Structure 1
């Protein structure tokens, strides 16, 4: 889909990887990085040394620290910053957004305090109508896609024409996007799977194996779908790439930040100690609380999410969490 201009705001591993995908699909892409030294490195060396060392970036991709330059004339604006910093960043960028650009969220989180999904925050801060806002979600571990390993994803947007245009803008021989109208389901799947991945990591760190992980993935999917249905999502979404697909990848892969973070908690490190070891954002750590708030507001039971909140934010030891989950009242599946 040559001729499409894309701005990617956020030069972390997933933002940079998706900028590469867009450029490989024929778009002219400008990547916005906060730090001048990172923007310079990307421009001069064709590599993001901090987040994707060793991956060659295409020539059609340039980097800048000037959001105005990145957004100038963009048809597609991709938002790839940590969920909890979206509102503040968007407040700064909103006046610079081209009036009819499609706004695509790569973020998988729920906002603290407001319990809003990312598309809701985008609409609220920018005033963009719902037809202009889309989300991308699926089993998309950045490093594997940057290395052009085959992967599929879902683009969720209530406007079919925009969804199809986005699909064309990021379709490459190694990256296959599907469209879906269920924005609520796709965003929830993406946010909750990070929480379940923390639980999987915690049990992994405690030395438990595949049965434990498979049980957590399956019960995690059940509680994600329960919340989704309460919020008006389609049940089939949770059986697809943005539901089960993303959940399996994030809960199983050592490349998953949330799983890796959970593993360190499971080995007995404190939240602060784990946070000190990484520069990457494990979205589930902050999103688990708003997800639980959302569930309680809608009367939905989410025992795994609750357990993760207790370990991450209430100082409950991981071993105690597992004991509590296993001793819950027995009932039909």
Structure 2
């Protein structure tokens, strides 16, 4: 890397904007090691008759996806991906996971060979070349761009981070030097970062917790209480650990006790957008029974997306390929409810009959 590291944020939704606030402040406070300008790639949209990037750069606020939160003036929204990432030493990926592959291909010929990527994306990629299984987003970024990719995951609901409420995050990286660079970039007194080398487990937790979060929302939608939701969290965590044992070489159980694991799971099951989706699936089942997830998404999220249903589908395909769907009954029930294959009322039957309860 150069003497001072320049930073580009690839993505600009509510989480991207919340992290832009942190990064924008930190590069100024640590201008001895970081360039102070932060480019933020933003997919161009119209907002009240104007280009969204122009509004964001004028108001220093993401008026569509994180309204009411001021961004540092050194964070510059840019609609041209190539121009935004050119020359960057650190590339922060924070976007829906289904768009990452094409984004990386667009960037491929325009980034530094020495750059470091870090993924804040909570999802999976399909295994390459038609092979069964899943692949990590960080691995896909590495393969396309030819650079190292770390991850940052944790109990980080974007509005609370933007409001500077205390929280923790886990940085997953291949070596301590990369971890220290990213810790300098992300950590604030209210946003504490730990470093861990179990990268794929950390990333897996960030994806799977969104599926369990839908289950927690189903419980809320049915008007059930804290005890039932606690059962969903516990059984969901067990299936997450089991998934890691089966699909991630060297997965360490201790990693699930980092912020990326049980903490992120608890936060998502109480306040995340995928929890909200689960609740809305129940409510729409009563008055709009034919509504799809996409229709709910369009009405509620103003252009953003629920990641949980897509991850549920991806892992269902992997489990089906291996003939082990029945070993993950919670994941399977949530997938089938999202697909409208079974009524949400069947969810409690899934909890009652979970193998964990069998002698």
Check 1:223–1:55 CA distance in 2 against 1; reply closer, same or farther (3 A cut).
same
Distance in 2 between residues matched to 1:295 and 1:178, nearest whole Å: 32
1:20 aligns with 2:21: yes
Is 1:276 the counterpart of 2:295? The answer is no
Q: How does 1:205-216 map to 2 (within 5 A)?
A: 205-216=221-232
Q: 1:135 is matched with which residue: 132, 140, 151?
A: 151
User: Counterpart of 1:25 in 2: which secondary structure?
Assistant: helix
Match of 1:331 in 2: 358
The alpha carbon displacement at 1:297 in A equals 5.4
Q: Quick check: 1:119 aligned with 2:138? A: yes
Equivalent residue number for residue 89 of structure 2: 75
Q: Deviations over 1:284-314 (max 9, x none)?
A: 1101122233445565822111111111125
Q: What residue in structure 2 maps to residue 222 of structure 1?
A: 238
Deviations, residues 91-119 of structure 1 (Å, cap 9, x unaligned):
11121222111111010011257521111
Q: Deviations over 1:204-240 (max 9, x none)?
A: 1111110111111111111101111221211101121
Indicate if the aligned counterparts of 2:232 and 2:351 stay in contact, CA closer than 8 A.
no
104-113 or 175-184: bigger deviation: 104-113
- Alpha carbons of 1:246 and 1:34: their partners in 2 closer, same or farther (altered >3 Å)? same
Q: Does 1:180 align with 2:199?
A: no
Distance verdict in 2 for CA 1:294–1:234, change over 3 Å: farther
Contact 1:137–1:153 (8 Å) recurs in 2: yes
Question: Is the alpha carbon distance of 1:14 and 1:202 closer, same or farther for their aligned partners in structure 2, counting shifts above 3 Å?
Answer: same
**Which deviates more from structure 2 when the two are superposed, residues 278-287 or residues 215-224?**
278-287
Q: Which residue of 2 aligns with 1:101?
A: 115
Q: TM-score, normalised by structure 1?
A: 0.92
What is the number of residues matched between the two proteins?
A: 326
Root-mean-square deviation (Å): 1.9
> Structure 1 regions of 5+ residues with no counterpart?
none
Q: Say whether 1:305 aligns with 2:312.
A: no
Question: How far off is 1:76 after superposition?
Answer: 0.7
Aligned residue in 2 for 1:38: 52
Q: Which residue of 2 aligns with 1:190?
A: 206
Answer yes or no: is 1:291 the counterpart of 2:315: yes
Q: Which has the larger radius of gyration?
A: 2
| Alpha-carbon contact 1:111-1:287 (below 8 Å) kept | no
Report if the CA contact (8 A) 2:213-2:278 is conserved. Answer: yes
Are 1:249 and 2:267 an aligned pair?
A: yes
**Structure 1 Cα separation of the partners of residues 181 and 274 of structure 2:** 31
Separation in structure 1 between the aligned mates of residue 321 and residue 331 of structure 2, nearest angstrom: 14
Distance in 1 (alpha carbons) for counterparts of 2:137 and 2:336: 24
TM-score (norm 2): 0.86
**Does structure 2 conserve the Cα–Cα contact (< 8 Å) formed by 1:32 and 1:39?**
no
Is the partner of 2:170 in helix, strand or coil? strand
